[in-house]
C-alpha cells in the first residue's frame, strides 16, 4: 500500500507540463495554445510534419525562445527559462543536431568542461571527475574517458554529449533528430543509451521523422499539426503507423489547384542512374511545361538531386537536358538554361549585403554589359521591371537584401533565375520561411512559368506544397526515388507518408 501511494504521488508529479503555450511570429502563429504533460522517466516522442510547431516548442523548452503566452512547469514548479543557460541550470539538457564537443580534448575533459566554474565550483576536481566517469560508465561503458574525442565516431561523440548533460544533473534531455547522421548499428547503440538514461531517472524528449524509431523507443507520443496539439497518448494505444500518420496530416489537404497529371510535352530532362555519396540510382524524366515535385524528409536526397543536375556536386550517371551533355558547373548549367533556387536562401541564393538592384542580374550579369562595361541604367530598369513583375514589396531597388522579409528575399532569388532566361527551374524548398501571402504569390508565379512552357522541379519537405502545385511527385527516401505518383484528388496521403518514412515502396 505504501508503495502504491508513493507511486501515485510520483505519477502526479509530471516531469514537464505545458499549459496553453503560444508563440506568435509576425503574421504567423507557430504554436497555438498547446497543452500536454510528459511523465517522469519516460521517452516522450514529439511528431508532426515540417512546420507543425515541434521545433518552436523545443526552442521554448530550451530557453532559446520566449513564449508569447502560456506556461511551463518542471516537477510542478514554474519553469521560465530566459536563456539556454537558465534551461541547463533548471535541469533541461539538449542534444543538438550539430555537436558541441571539442575534438582536441579528451572525453573526460569534455565532460568536465566549464563545470568547475558554473555548477560544481565548490567540488574538488577529482570528485567531479569521479562522478562524471561514473555517469559515462553507466550509460556507455565502452567509451574510454581518456580517449581523445577526435578519435570517436559521430555516434560516440553524441553519447559524450548526452553524458555531459546527464552528469551536469539534467533531469530532462531533449534530442532533436539524433539519428540523422547515424548508421543502423549506431542507432541501436544510441537507443540502448536512451533506455539506460530513462532507467536512471532521466526523462527523454525525442523528436524524429522516422516513425519506426518512435514505435521502437517511445513510451508516449505527442502529435502536433499546424501549430496545434492534436493528441498525447501512450504509443501502446496507437494503432500502428496509419493512425499516427492520420493524426499528423489530418483529413484533407486543400487543393486550389487542379493537378494535370503527366503533361504530354517533349521530355526536356532525362536522368538515368544518378548516384553519389548520398544518391542511389536515381532515374526520372521531366517534360516541357510540367511541374514535378520531389518529396521526402530532411536527408532523403532531394537537395542532392537538384545540385547534381545543376552541376554543383559531382555524381555518376546520365543527365540529359534537351539533348545536351550534363553541366560540369553551375555556370554551364545556366548557359544550358537551367537555374537553381538553392535550399539556403540567405547563404546560397542571395547576396544579403548587396542591394536588390545588384542581386537581380547576377546570374546573367554579362547581359547588362557591353564590352565588359556595366550599364548601370539598364540594371536599374531591369531591377524595377522585376520588382514590379514579382511584386517585391520594397520602396526602393537600392534596399539591401538582408532588410527584406523572407518572402521578398525569395522573390529576389526567383528574379535572378528568371533574368537568367532559364528553360528549367530547380526550386529547392521554395517557400521555406515564407509567409502565407507571399507563398501563394510564388505558387502563382510557378504556374505561370509552367504554362509558358518551362519545366519546373520542386524539391520540398512539405507535403502540402508538393500536392498543392505539382503534376507528378517523386517520393524519396534514403537517396532513392521510392515511388512516383500522379497528383490528383485520389492521392493516398497515408501511403505517401509511409513511403517517405521508410515504410516500403510500391508504385501507385
Instruction: Give contact residues for other proteins (rule: CB under 8 A).
Output: 310, 312, 329-331, 333-335, 340, 342, 347-355, 358, 362-366, 369, 372-374, 376, 395-396, 398-399, 403, 416, 420
According to DSSP, the residues that pair with 360 across neighbouring strands are none
Q: How far is the CB of 344 from other proteins (least distance, A)?
A: 8
Alpha carbon of 508 to those of 38, 239, 412, 454, 465: distances in Å?
Answer: 39, 24, 37, 26, 20
Q: How far is the CB of 412 from other proteins (least distance, A)?
A: 12
Measured over the CA atoms of residue 25, residue 26, residue 27 and residue 33, the dihedral's sign is positive
Question: Rounded to whole angstroms, how far apart are CA atoms 334 and 337?
Answer: 5
Alpha carbon of 377 to those of 40, 65, 357, 380, 399: distances in Å?
Answer: 66, 45, 11, 5, 17
Question: Rounded to whole angstroms, how far apart are CA atoms 292 and 334?
Answer: 20
Write the DSSP assignment of 153-208 as a string of letters: -HHHHHHHHHHHHHHTT-SEEEEESTTTT--HHHHHHHHHHHHHHHHTT-EEEEE-
Grid coordinates 538531386 are at which residue? 305
Helix (H) or strand (E) holding 481: strand 480-486
- Which of 286, 253, 255, 272 shows the shortest CA–CA distance to 450? 286
Question: Rounded to whole angstroms, how far apart are CA atoms 108 and 501?
Answer: 37
Nearer to other proteins, 269 or 426 (CB): 426
Nearer to other proteins, 398 or 444 (CB): 398
Nearer to other proteins, 342 or 479 (CB): 342
Nearer to other proteins, 188 or 402 (CB): 402
Q: How far is the CB of 313 from other proteins (least distance, A)?
A: 11
Nearer to other proteins, 5 or 395 (CB): 395
Please say whether the beta carbons of 216 and 506 come within 8 A.
no
Residue 26, number of CB atoms within 10 A of its CB: 6
Nearer to other proteins, 215 or 351 (CB): 351
Please say whether the beta carbons of 475 and 508 come within 8 A.
no
Q: How far is the CB of 314 from other proteins (least distance, A)?
A: 14
Question: Rounded to whole angstroms, how far apart are CA atoms 36 and 20?
Answer: 9
275: left (phi over 0), alpha (psi -120 to 50) or beta: beta
Alpha carbon of 16 to those of 36, 173, 174, 370: distances in Å?
Answer: 9, 11, 12, 66
Nearer to other proteins, 426 or 467 (CB): 426
- Which of 429, 346, 443 shows the shortest CA–CA distance to 51? 429
Nearer to other proteins, 420 or 463 (CB): 420
Strands of 267-275's sheet in order across? 282-287, 267-275, 316-321
Q: How far is the CB of 279 from other proteins (least distance, A)?
A: 19
Q: How far is the CB of 338 from other proteins (least distance, A)?
A: 10
Nearer to other proteins, 97 or 396 (CB): 396
Nearer to other proteins, 248 or 414 (CB): 414
Q: How far is the CB of 371 from other proteins (least distance, A)?
A: 9
Nearer to other proteins, 416 or 495 (CB): 416
Helix (H) or strand (E) holding 380: helix 376-390
Q: How far is the CB of 408 from other proteins (least distance, A)?
A: 13
Q: How far is the CB of 448 from other proteins (least distance, A)?
A: 23
Nearer to other proteins, 107 or 315 (CB): 315
Please say whether the beta carbons of 31 and 25 come within 8 A.
no
Q: How far is the CB of 49 from other proteins (least distance, A)?
A: 28
Q: How far is the CB of 284 from other proteins (least distance, A)?
A: 22
Q: How far is the CB of 438 from other proteins (least distance, A)?
A: 17
Q: How far is the CB of 116 from other proteins (least distance, A)?
A: 34
Q: HEC profile for 95-150? A: ECCCCCCCCCCEHHHHHHCCHHHHCCCCCCHHHHHHHHHHHHHHHCCCCCCCCEHH
HSE-CB of 447 using CA atoms within 13 angstroms:
17
Nearer to other proteins, 54 or 454 (CB): 454
Rg of the chain over all Cα atoms, to the nearest angstrom = 25
Amino acid at each position: 500500500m505504501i508503495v502504491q501511494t508513493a507511486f501515485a504521488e510520483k505519477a502526479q508529479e509530471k516531469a514537464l507540463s505545458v499549459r496553453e503555450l503560444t508563440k506568435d511570429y509576425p503574421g504567423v502563429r507557430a504554436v497555438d495554445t498547446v497543452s500536454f504533460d510528459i511523465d517522469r522517466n519516460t521517452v516522450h516522442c514529439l511528431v508532426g510534419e515540417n512546420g507543425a510547431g515541434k521545433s518552436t516548442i523545443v526552442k521554448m523548452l530550451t530557453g532559446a525562445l520566449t513564449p508569447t503566452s502560456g506556461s511551463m512547469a518542471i516537477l510542478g514548479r514554474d519553469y521560465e527559462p530566459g536563456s539556454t543557460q537558465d534551461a541547463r541550470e533548471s535541469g533541461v539538457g539538449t542534444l543538438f543536431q550539430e555537436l558541441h564537443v571539442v575534438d582536441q580534448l579528451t572525453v573526460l575533459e569534455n565532460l568536465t568542461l566549464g563545470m568547475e566554474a558554473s555548477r560544481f565550483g565548490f567540488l574538488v576536481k577529482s570528485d567531479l571527475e569521479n562522478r562524471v566517469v561514473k555517469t559515462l560508465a553507466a550509460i556507455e561503458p565502452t567509451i574510454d574517458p581518456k580517449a581523445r574525442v577526435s578519435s570517436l565516431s559521430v555516434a560516440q561523440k553524441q553519447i559524450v554529449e548526452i553524458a555531459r548533460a546527464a552528469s551536469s544533473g539534467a533531469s530532462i534531455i531533449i534530442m532533436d533528430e539524433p539519428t540523422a547522421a547515424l548508421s543502423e548499428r549506431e542507432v541501436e547503440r544510441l537507443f540502448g543509451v536512451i533506455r539506460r538514461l530513462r532507467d536512471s531517472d532521466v526523462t527523454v524528449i525525442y523528436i524524429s521523422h522516422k516513425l519506426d524509431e518512435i514505435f521502437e523507443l517511445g513510451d508516449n507520443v505527442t502529435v502536433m499539426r499546424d501549430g496545434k496539439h492534436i493528441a498525447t497518448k501512450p504509443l501502446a494505444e496507437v494503432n500502428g503507423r496509419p493512425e499516427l500518420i492520420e493524426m499528423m496530416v489530418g483529413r484533407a489537404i486543400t487543393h486550389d489547384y487542379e493537378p494535370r497529371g503527366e503533361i504530354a510535352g517533349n521530355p526536356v530532362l532525362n536522368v538515368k542512374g544518378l548516384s553519389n555519396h548520398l544518391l542511389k540510382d536515381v532515374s526520372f524524366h521531366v517534360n516541357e511545361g510540367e511541374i514535378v515535385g520531389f518529396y521526402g524528409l530532411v536527408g532523403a536526397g532531394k537537395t542532392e538531386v537538384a545540385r547534381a543536375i545543376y552541376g554543383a556536386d559531382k555524381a555518376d550517371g546520365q543527365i540529359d537536358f534537351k539533348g545536351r551533355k550534363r553541366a560540369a558547373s553551375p555556370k554551364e548549367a545556366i548557359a544550358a538554361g537551367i537555374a537553381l533556387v538553392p535550399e539556403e536562401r540567405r547563404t546560397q541564393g542571395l547576396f544579403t549585403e548587396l542591394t536588390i538592384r545588384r542581386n537581380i542580374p547576377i546570374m546573367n550579369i554579362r547581359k547588362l554589359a557591353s564590352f565588359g562595361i556595366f550599364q548601370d541604367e539598364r540594371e536599374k530598369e531591369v531591377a524595377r521591371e522585376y520588382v514590379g513583375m514579382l511584386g517585391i514589396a520594397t520602396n526602393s531597388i537600392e534596399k539591401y537584401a538582408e532588410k527584406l522579409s523572407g518572402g521578398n528575399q525569395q522573390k529576389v532569388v526567383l528574379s535572378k533565375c528568371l533574368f537568367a532566361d532559364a528553360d528549367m527551374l530547380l526550386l529547392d524548398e521554395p517557400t521555406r520561411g515564407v509567409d502565407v501571402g507571399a507563398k501563394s504569390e510564388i505558387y502563382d508565379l510557378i504556374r505561370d512559368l509552367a504554362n509558358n512552357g518551362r519545366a519546373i522541379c520542386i524539391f520540398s519537405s512539405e507535403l502540402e506544397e508538393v500536392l498543392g502545385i505539382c503534376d507528378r511527385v517523386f517520393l524519396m527516401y534514403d537517396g532513392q526515388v521510392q515511388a512516383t505518383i500522379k497528383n490528383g484528388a485520389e492521392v493516398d496521403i497515408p501511403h505517401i507518408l509511409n513511403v517517405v518514412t521508410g515504410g516500403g515502396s510500391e508504385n501507385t
